[in-house]
Each structure stands twice: as C-alpha cells, then as structure tokens.
Amino acid sequence: MAGTESAVAPLVEMSGVSLAYGRGKEQTLALADATMNIAQGEFIAVVGPSGCGKSTLMKLVTGLLPATSGTVKVHGEVVKRPIKGVGMAFQNATLMPWRTTRDNILLPLEVVEPHKRRFRANRGEYVERVEKLLASVGLGGFGDKYPWQLSGGMQQRSNLCRALVHEPEILMLDEPFGALDAFTREELWGVLQKLWMERRFTCVLVTHDLREAVYLADTVYVMSKRPGRVILKREIELPRPRTLEDTFKPGFVDIVHDLRDRIHKEHA
Amino acid sequence: MTDAQRNALKLAMPWLVTIAMFAIWELACIAFNIQEIVLPRPSRIFAVSVERWSILLDFCLQTLWTTAIGFGLAIIGGVLIGLAIGASPFVYSGLYPLLIAFNAIPKVAIVPILMIWLGVGAAPAIITAFVISFFPIVVNVATGLATIEPEMRDVMRSLGASNYEILTKVGIPRAMPYLFASLKVAITLAFIGSVISETVGGNRGIGFLMLSAGARNDTATTFAGLFAIAIMGVLMYALCAWVEKRMTGWAFRGELVG
C-alpha cells in the first residue's frame, strides 16, 4: 500500500529530528537525526533496544516534546504544541481507579471536540458507542466494573478502547502489551489488527518485540542504541489478516531473523 | 477459632484493651496508695464525670463547636491552598517555604496575640483550631496533585485537554484520598488547637474547665476533661474515617484480580 500512497503527501513527516535532554555538559542526545514519513492509514512499528529513544520519538510526533533540531510536520504543518485528538496507550494502562471502565472510556469524549460540546445532551448515544467498542474487544458487559477489578489483559483492552473511542487520526502505542503474559499478548495482537483493519487509523507502535512488530506493522523501523538513529526501514508485505499461525511460517520467521541480525550487528 | 469468633474478638479488642488499662490503673492506685490529687483512680474519675455531667456536657459542646468550625475553615482553606500549590509550580515555590515557617511556630505563642485582637471567647479557639489543622490538609492535597502519573498527563494533553481539565478530571479526584487521609490527622490536631486556646485564656470549654479544676487541686475533674476530649477525638476521627470510606472507596480496593 506504500506504493499507492506515495503520491499523496504523508500524514507525518519527520526530517532530521534530534532531541537532547538537559543543558550544557549534562546534555544527552536521546534521538539523532530521525527522518521518516508516515502515510495516512499506515501502521508502523518502531523497534530497538531499550533506551534508544523510541518513546521519545512518539512524544515528538504528538508534540508533547519539542524537537531540539529538525522539524516534525503533521498534515504539512509544523508541530509546535501537542496536536489534538491523538489516541495514546502506554504499557501502564493508566485507567482512573475512581471511574468505572465505561466512564474511563468516555473520558476522551468529555475532552475532545466536537464530542465535548455534545456530551451532556447525547450521553446515551456515546455510552452506546462505548458498549459497542467494549464488545468488539471482548469486554462486553464489563463496563460497570472498576479497572482494578479487571485482569491486566482486560485493563489493556480497555486502554485500547479509550485510545480509540474518539476515532483519532493517529494512534500512539508505547509498548502497550509489554507487561502482559505471552498468551494474552498474542490475543491482543489479533484484537488490535482487527480494529485497525476496520478503521484504518494511522498507528505508531513502539515495541521491542520483533514478532509483534512484524505481525502488526506495514513498515518496521529499527533503531540503534542511544543516541537512537533509524538504521533500517523494512516494509512488511505479508497479506492481511495475519494469523498467529503465520508467525511460525518461513516467510514471517525470515523477516524476524533479518531484523534480529541487524540489531545484533548494531550491538556488536 | 472460627472466623466468626475471630471477627468478634477483633471488634472487641479495643474495648478489652481499654478495660484492661483502666483495671491496671485502678489496681496500681490502690496497691501503691497513690493520693487522688496526684493520680485519681478511674472509678473516681467516672464518679466525678457523672456528678458534674451537665457542666461537662455543656463545655464539651462548646469545645466541639469551636473545633468543628475551625476544622471546617481548615478544610476550605487547606483544599484551596493545596490545589493552588499542587497545580502551579510558581505558587508552590512562593508559598511553600512560608507555610513551613508558619507551621513551625508553636501555636501556643499565637493565642495571646489572638486574644489581644479578638478578646476572650470562642474566636481565638476557632482560629487556633484552624491554624493548627490546615497544614496537613494543604500538604496532602498538594501531594495528591503532584503525584499524577506522567503517562496520565500525556494521555490528557494528547487529547488536547486544558490544564483546568487535567485538574478537574484527574487532579482533584486523585487528591481526594489524600485529602480524606489528612482529615483524620487534622481533626485531632484541631481539638488540640481549641483546647490550647481555652487553656491559655478562655472562659468556657473543656480546656478552661481543666485549668480551673487544676487550680482548685480537683485532679479528678481535670482527668474527666481529658477523657472527654479523648472521646470526642475518637468520635470525630471515626466520623472522618467513615466519610473517607464512603467518598473514596476505590482507594481501598483489594488486590487486583489476577
């Protein structure tokens, strides 16, 4: 799909972006000279060793951190402050323990326009939307539960729902499945792929699980250790929907091995 | 022991321990032949309490309402200042050192000043209760705000939430358990404040009662006053704990379900 979209301007353009924390001699470079384009509706994964600036990259794209040098453009406009209406999910589900799961997922609708101004009058309609979304990730009927009454995997499903409920153009996932057991993690890959295929949002997934990256992404970017540089861009042309069975087939395994080799070389 | 018995014993424990303490006290007074003016026996204190019931109750209510008003003001003031400090780094750096300095002042020292300004009566007791109890509320509310998870903040900011929205949707609910925890500390401090004020210069209230009884060598009445304060303190603490459980039950959640 990258071929068909290349004519259109990409949604996110990063050119020569660096980020340094601290000042003067204390300064450490977290990300060096990152250049990448993300097309509308593309699913990219960023992999690399821990501390390589993957999460930094994510904060730069959403404008939560200003770049030290280089430019980040979204929709052709330079990002200077947090861009609005992005969906975000982290490894830690950060659901609010004082709200039920349903109310947690309603939160973005209370904050993001145009839902915010319609929220009070149309609460019923929004609750229905949340129930549908919950059902689609296998959490139907759990809306009344508090997050702390849910298992880790269920919390992470709710977290995905919260990130998607306002139908954001961009979804940012920072190791969302990192704290889960292998079975739950693989199950949630399927959930995420299904949601993405239905809605085709632009997605940036930060992970250090290579299988996860190859399973989910259209394009995988490999980063070096700190200061992080993009050292490889690899397009994954496997057909969708991909299944867990596929992840053990030669075509898939070869790609994972390639990527792993590249990362190992970088470390040597 | 069955579970029911264990629970019953757990509930009975505070009473059993209190009764045991009084029994030991009573026996020690008899065994060592301690004079009443030095340390009255608990049975004497109870007898005196019953004898002087009406004045005790009257002065208890006096102390209770001055404490309650001072405490109420401390909640309002403490929450407002706590929110301001927790929400704004500028207010924090400007006000915090001043608050610590103020908190370090022995509150006994300000009562005479209050009396010069406001005269003898309920007003100095209310204000002393206020100034002594609002600091823990400020600190706790500010802590609740300051410890919002950075990821939660990022989620809100990337949704385009304003600082005001982050405060009302995340900060304030999150600070609630901290607030209620501080109330349990603050209410007992508020009693100390109002009683100090009544003791230094008052004409009503339990503090005044104890001071005047002490001057007459009526040690039993002084102790009756102490007991009255302790009972009021426990009751108010229990009230705060109950409100806390009602308001922020989610903060007392059990273990996460596996």
Which one of B158, B176, B253 would you mutate to disrupt binding with A, by most A Cβ within 10 Å of its Cβ? B158
At residue B253 the predicted structure's pLDDT band, cuts being 50, 70 and 90, is low
Q: Is pLDDT of B64 > 90? A: yes
What pLDDT, on a 0 to 100 scale, did the predictor assign at position B222?
94
Nearest to B151 among A92, A108, A152 (CB): A92
Q: A39, A10 in Cβ contact below 8 A?
A: yes
- Whole-number mean pLDDT of chain A? 86
Q: Do A84 and B160 touch (CB under 8 A)?
A: yes
Nearest CA in chain A to B154: A64
Residues B97-119: pLDDT tens digits? 999 998 899 988 888 999 899 88
- The pLDDT of A67-82, averaged and rounded, is 86
Which residues of chain B make contact with A104, given a CB cutoff of 8 A? none
CATH architecture of B46-247: Orthogonal Bundle (1.10)
Q: Is B16 exposed, middle or buried (0-12, 13-18, 19+ CB in 10 A)?
A: exposed
What backbone torsions phi and psi does residue A177 show, to the nearest 5 degrees? -110, 10
Provide the pLDDT for residue A101: 93
Q: Residue B197's pLDDT is what?
A: 92
Please identify which residue in the block is written with the tokens 């979209």.
Answer: A5
Q: How many residues appear in chain B?
A: 258
**pLDDT score of B82 more than 90:** yes
Cβ contacts (< 8 Å) between B257 and chain A: which residues?
A: 148-151
User: Do the Cβ atoms of A201 and A171 come closer than 8 Å?
Assistant: yes
Kindly state the DSSP code that residue B120 receives in the 8-state scheme: S
In 3D space, the residue among B87, B242, B61 whose CA is nearest the CA of residue B174 turns out to be B87
- Residue A72, φ and ψ in degrees, nearest 5: -115, 125
DSSP labels, B47-74: HHHHHTHHHHHHHHHHHHHHHHHHHHHH
Residue B94 in this model has a pLDDT that exceeds 80: yes
Nearest by CB to A64, which of B158, B248, B253? B158
The CATH number of the domain holding residue A15 is 3.40.50.300
Model confidence band, residue B257 (pLDDT cutoffs 50, 70, 90): very low
The pLDDT tens digits of the residues spanning B108-160 come to 888 899 989 988 888 999 999 999 999 999 999 999 998 888 889 888 988 88
pLDDT surpassing 60 at residue A46: yes
Residue % of chain B over a pLDDT of 90: 66
Mean pLDDT for A249-264 is 89
Alpha helix (H) ranges present in A114-206? 115-118, 123-136, 152-164, 182-199
Q: Cβ contacts (< 8 Å) between B169 and chain A: which residues?
A: 107, 110-111
Chain B interface mutation, best of A107, A112, A162, highest count of B Cβ atoms under 10 Å: A107
Q: How far apart are the first and last CA of chain B?
A: 30
Smallest CA–CA separation between B215 and chain A, in Å?
54
The residue whose two tokens read 């190992």 is A264
Q: Nearest residue of A to residue B176 by CA position?
A: A98
pLDDT at A214 over 90: yes
Tokens coding A226: 């700190």
- The pLDDT value recorded for residue B151 is 87
pLDDT at A7: 54
ipTM given for this complex: 0.82
Say yes or no for a CB contact (<8 Å) between B155 and A88: yes
Domain boundaries, chain B: 46-247
Does A166 sit within 8 Å of B159, measured CB to CB?
yes
Q: Is B113 within 8 Å of B53 (Cβ atoms)?
A: no
Question: Given A88, A107, A146, which is nearest B154 (Cβ)?
Answer: A88
Q: Which domain holds residue A197?
A: 2-267
CB spacing of A85 vs B248 below 8 angstroms = no
At A50 the pLDDT is 74
| Residues in B lying within 8 Å of A, measured between beta carbons | 149, 151-152, 154-161, 165, 169-170, 173-174, 176, 248, 250-251, 253, 256-258
Written as six digits, the tokens of B44 are 């004497």
| C-alpha pair distances (Å), A124 with each of A115, A120, A121, A130, B142 | 13, 9, 8, 10, 35
The residue behind tokens 């757990």 is B10
Residues from chain A contacting residue B160 (CB–CB below 8 Å):
82, 84-85, 111-113
Average pLDDT (B34-56) is 92
Min Cα distance B86 → chain A (Å) is 19
Nearest-CA neighbor of A194 among A247, A149, A243? A243
Burial class (CB in 10 A: 0-12, 13-18, 19+), B103: middle
Please say if the pLDDT value at position A5 is more than 70: no
Report the residue from A90, A98, A111 with minimal CB separation from B250: A98
Q: Look-up: residue for tokens 């057909």?
A: A239
d(CA A83, nearest CA chain B) in Å: 6
Give A148's contacts in chain B (Cβ within 8 Å). Answer: 250, 253, 256-257
Q: Worst-scoring range by mean pLDDT, A218-222, A251-255, B245-249? A: B245-249
Best residue in A91, A111, A206 for a mutation probing chain B (most B CBs within 10 Å):
A111
Residues of A in contact with B244 (CB under 8 A): none
Closest residue of A to B248, CA-based?
A98
Q: Is the CB of B159 less than 8 angstroms away from the CB of A85?
A: yes
**How many angstroms separate the CA of residue A108 from the nearest CA in chain B?**
7
Alpha carbon distance, N-terminus to C-terminus of chain A: 34
**In this predicted structure, which of A64-73, A96-105, B19-28 has the lowest mean pLDDT?**
A64-73
Residue B205 CA to residue B124 CA, distance in Å, equals 12
Long-range contact list for B72-76, CB < 8 A, 24+ apart?
B73/B126, B73/B130, B73/B134, B74/B129, B74/B130, B74/B133, B74/B134, B74/B137, B74/B186, B74/B190, B75/B137, B75/B183, B75/B186
pLDDT exceeds 80 at position A6: no
User: Cβ contacts of residue B29 below 8 Å, gap of 6+?
Assistant: B39, B40, B41
| CA dist., res. B196 & res. B115, Å (int) | 13
> How would residue B1 be classed by pLDDT, with cut points 50, 70 and 90?
confident
Percent of chain A with pLDDT over 70: 96
Contact predicate A58/A174, CB 8 Å:
yes
- Give the number of A-B residue pairs with CB atoms closer than 8 Å: 70
Question: What DSSP assignment string belongs to A81-94?
Answer: SPPTT-EEEESS--
What is the total count of domains within chain A?
A: 1
Of A63-67, A264-268, B6-10, B195-199, the one with minimum mean pLDDT is A264-268
CB neighbour list of residue A225: distance below 8 Å, 6 or more residues apart: A48, A49, A51, A52, A266, A267
CB contact under 8 A, B149 and A64: no
